[in-house]
Structure 1
Amino acid sequence: MAKISREKVEVVIAGSGIAGSTMAAELGEAGFNVLVLEAGPERKLSEMISSQIWSRRLRWAGPEVQETGDLVGAANFAMGWGTGGAGLHWYANWYRLHPDDFRVRSQYGRSLDWPISYEELRPWYDHAQVYFGVSGGKNPSAPPGASYPMPAIPISSQSAAIKRGFDAEGLTLTSNTLAVNSVPYDGRAGCILDGWCDAGCPIGALANPLVLQWPRAKRAGVKLRHNAYVTRIETDPSGSRATGVVYIDENGQENFQPADVVIAACHTIWNARLLLLSSNDKYPDGLGNSSGTLGHYFTSHALTTIHGLFKQETEPHTGVTGANTLCLDGYDKKQPAKDAFGSRAWLVAQAAKPNDLLGTALAKPELFGDALNNYLHRASSHYGNMTVLCEEDAIPENRVALDPSKRDRYGLPQARVINSLPQENVARSELAKSEGLRIFKAAGTREAWAGPRAPMHMIGGTIMGSDPTTSVTNSFGQIHEVENVFVAGASLFPTPGAINPTATLAALVFRTADFIRTNRSSLLP
């Protein structure tokens, strides 16, 4: 079947999630002619139904991801499918990386350094929190920055029960910082604290692309094409400029979309896969892979959940999915113990229903029958939980690669993720688990237990750097070898810190959009 050639645009963006939609809105409002290609179907706000059965539609439904290693299993959980991508089911936890997260190699002799400092990104963090709308209070352990535009979400009954344990351990529990409206903000409603954030937020209290970026982007004339599965980036014969992207439409027809600027804004794994699939005679190992680092330095967060039943009622079904409160005490990377390394952050009191994704039933997956019924009767009113995120070192062995033995329905190699936690990070994770159980015991739980270690978030694989021989892009996400190809998203991060990545992702998008605006004359022919 012959390839269809589409009308040329100035900017084509692969992916309509938080990175892609924010970039599209920014460049559209700057006067660029922008087209976004989304692999999944159209989503509408009316489809955001507070039910785990319905919310599964928002999860990844594209090609399978092969995962190997001892820290795997996040792919389908973390990615999105359709308008807004994972931005429709994200938990809205909003944190800045700390200054030493940008200098892990320089300060601690391990992992990597970023090509920019915290201070360089700080004004973009400030801008992003106003744009998205962030609620929160002052946290003495957080990096410096402007005050949040909204007050914090109220402390929940669950947090109040758990806080006694933090107090007993000499740790500070503060209000969480969330891209959730605690009060009406920017024309969007305040949160009703019904605990269904990851099933979509139909009232718009949670900043998702359907209520924030896409209305702005469409007013600016940005076009969005659904069921458009981008398979490669094409370059001219010299390899110095991209000419556009190839995508497959819902009829299986291959299309070529010409563009002056190409932006890969897919989820982490798919940014790396797209560049690897874009190999040609000039770039036989993948576009942007002259350094040999494309796909490498994949990281995640080592997550451990702590669960308990409390004497007092905790109303666990209410609140927000992300967390009601937060503890950043001890986030600094000073060795917590011999042969252990990394930051950690406690996200406390996530809303939990009996049958939802983080629910009370799944906290005890080994129970059946009467035992499960008796447990749920207690847990529905007395359950409490918290999650610790621990840092993973960036090492080249952890990576995204193509698996020629596994093909998608179009015959293209599937992505394969290799991710194992370095031993000193394992030791840090074990220390955190022990700390969490102590906290719950000190809080007076009748029973406390820990879940298995699992990965959360997917980061790296198309890392930024100042040296083209050791990185894929520069600090603006611009591929070193091809000046009109950019990458947006957490795949750029050289290191993950120990906190959720979206605030940093957004700050980087705003910084890159400003760079593209400023350099318009040199980027467009």
Structure 2
Amino acid sequence: QPISNTLFGRAAERMGLHPFPMPSANVTREYENPYGAKLHPCTYCGFCERFGCGYFAKADPIICVYDRIKEHENFEIRFESQVLRIEKSADGQTATGALYLGPDGREYFQPADTICMNAYALWNVHLMLVSGLGKPYDPETRTGVVGRNYAYQTIASVDAFFDDSVVTNPFMGAGALGVVVDDYNGDNFDHSDLGFVGGGYIACKQYHGRPISYQPVPDGTPRWGAEWKRAVRENYGHHGDLVVHGSSMSTPENFLDLDPTWTDAYGRPLLRMTFNFPDNDRRMSDYVMNRAVEIAENMEHVQSVTSSNLAAQGSNYDIVPYQTTHNTGGAVIGTDPSTSVVNRYGQMWDHHNVFVFGACLFPQNLGYNPTGPLMGLAYWTLEHMKNDYLPNPRPLMDA
């Protein structure tokens, strides 16, 4: 593992914390999955945290699933197509299929007995809203459910700058290469006098070192000019990158709805996001970030440490600096139709033949990326679809 990760782990252990390797979808040796897809050992090229892997060293559906099922008799994928809306039956109780735009620019209707909504979290919500699926959330009356409980992630960062004896080679990296401390995540620590709930993990990571996007410099460095260039040159190879990935608590004021003015290329209202960091999350992020600063200051050969909390008190959410793409909520799972879009089986309360997947189901966001729980929920929903719903289509829970 990179030397910055090693020094982070050592410092955390000396402080009584419990560091461990960051879980990853990259493989370190050749592997064949149950479908027969083969993955190759990662070459640590430093590209895959933003891009697919041309060497087949990172698990993704195209490599691990699609190539195995594309010739199956009951599978078809239609490329260069855009689903415009889901159509409903005359009584509005079920969906009848999907209207989509094909690669020839013509609209087509695909009838369906059962529909699975598998888009990205935000786009599932958008498709529900433009299709009239479920009751939209109204922030004034706090009634309705589609768009409710939008949550984000709360990110802070810490930069450790080492002396010349530590060479970090940041251009060598992988999509999730790092060492993690989980002692300040969720309920792993005492919140009694802290004034917030939630938490986050602290990781020292080495994902990439591409020179256009990776230019770490200490505090006080000019933002341009000869001094800035010198600082980039001198610090590029002597830098440790720490991140705090914090939870996000949903509030009535943070929600998704349809924009009253702007439309997309297909004439549909754009999805509008109303969001700012809740005070709870600001306090949480500041607290965990300061714990990360303490670890960084205890790392060997560190000369200086800087920190940045994107949810700092007095600041507003800004979409410009990249923070995270793990948006959650908007179509949450639950047992009460007045507060959730789908029941505990991922089935829409209002349209029993529509099943929903993805992070839009989450009522909050944890201090972790949601991949693991999402896969668990997908298996759970598919199990009940296959064994309970398809033999006898109906609502699986009473509203």
- Determine if contact 2:218/2:305 at 8 Å carries over to the other structure: no
Alpha-carbon distance between aligned partners in 1 of 2:117 and 2:95, rounded to the nearest angstrom: 12
Q: Indicate conservation of the 8 Å contact 2:136/2:147, yes or no.
A: no
State the 1:366 CA deviation: 5.8
Written as runs of structure 1 = structure 2, the 5 A alignment for 1:190-209 is: 190-197=41-48, 198-209=50-61
Q: Which of 147, 161, 173 is matched with 1:319 structurally?
A: 173
- What residue in structure 2 maps to residue 268 of structure 1? 121
Q: TM-score, normalised by structure 1?
A: 0.65
1:296 equivalent in alignment to 2:142: no
1 CA distance for matches of 2:375 and 2:332? 16
The yes-or-no answer on 1:446 pairing with 2:298 is no
- Whether the 8 Å contact between 1:158 and 1:316 is mirrored in structure 2 is no
Q: Offset at 1:458?
A: 0.2
What is the DSSP-based 3-state SS (H/G/I as helix, E as strand, rest coil) of the residue aligned with 1:304? Answer: strand
Letter in 2 for 1:373: K
Name the aligned partner's letter for residue 265 of structure 1. N
Report the counterpart of residue 329 of structure 2 in structure 1.
460
**Alpha-carbon distance between aligned partners in 1 of 2:192 and 2:258, rounded to the nearest angstrom:** 37
Pairwise CA distance, 1:509: 1.1
Q: 1: distance between equivalents of 2:18 and 2:12?
A: 6
| Identity score, percent | 25
Residue 306 of structure 1 is aligned with which of 158, 163, 167?
158
TM-fit CA distance, 1:322: 2.4
Confirm whether residue 348 of structure 1 aligns to residue 199 of structure 2.
no
Alpha-carbon separation, structure 2, partners of 1:269 and 1:356: 29
Contact 1:293-1:471 at 8 Å conserved across structures: yes
Give the aligned residue type for 2:16.
Answer: G
1:283-305 superposed Cα distances (whole Å, 9 cap, x missing partner):
6759xxx9711101011110111
Secondary structure of 2:391 counterpart = helix
Q: 1:117 matched to which residue of 2? A: none
- When residues 322 and 494 of structure 1 are mapped into structure 2, their CA distance, relative to the original with a 3 A threshold, is same
2:215 pairs, out of 360, 377, 395, with 360
- SS in structure 2 opposite 1:223? coil
Partner residue of 2:391?
521
Matched residue type, 1:387: V
Partners of 1:255 and 1:404 lie apart in 2 by 27
Q: Deviations over 1:293-346 (max 9, x none)?
A: 110101111011111211211222223232411111132434164322212111
Q: Which amino acid aligns with 1:445?
A: V
Unaligned runs of 5+ in 2: 33-37, 312-322, 395-399
Tell me the SS of whatever aligns to 1:351.
coil
Three-state SS of the structure 1 residue aligned to 2:365 is coil
Range with bigger deviation, 269-278 or 386-395: 386-395
Tell which deviates more after alignment, 338-347 or 479-488: 338-347
Give the 3 Å change call, closer, same or farther, for CA 504–191 of structure 1 in structure 2. same
Choose which of 350, 355, 358 in structure 2 pairs with 1:489.
358
Counterpart of 1:122?
Answer: none
Question: Matched residue pairs, number?
Answer: 364
- Which letter does structure 2 place at the counterpart of 1:232? R
- Code of the residue aligned with 1:370 in structure 2: it is A
Secondary structure, aligned partner of 1:247: strand
Please state how far the C-alpha of 1:361 moved relative to its aligned partner.
Answer: 5.1
- Which ranges of structure 1 fall in alignment gaps of 5 or more residues? 1-154
Asked whether the equivalents of residues 473 and 480 of structure 1 are also in contact (C-alpha less than 8 Å), the reply is yes
Shift, 1:447, TM fit: 2.0
DSSP-derived class of the 1:224 partner = coil
| Shift in alpha-carbon separation, 1:370–1:415, aligned structure 2, 3 A | same
Structure 1 pair 493/325, CA: closer, same or farther in 2 (3 Å)? same
**TM-score under structure 2 length normalisation:** 0.85
Q: 1:384 maps to what in 2?
A: 240
Q: Which amino acid aligns with 1:199?
A: F
Residue type matched to 2:168 in 1?
A: T
Preserved contact between residue 157 and residue 244 of structure 2 (Cα < 8 Å): yes
Please identify which structure carries the higher helix content: 1
Alignment partner of 1:169 is 2:15: yes
Shift of 1:199: 2.1
Match of 2:40 in 1: 189
Compare CA radii of gyration and give the structure with the larger one: 2
Query: What code does the residue aligned with 1:315 have?
Result: N
| Contact 1:328/1:344, CA 8 A, preserved across alignment | yes
- SS of the equivalent of 1:459 reads coil
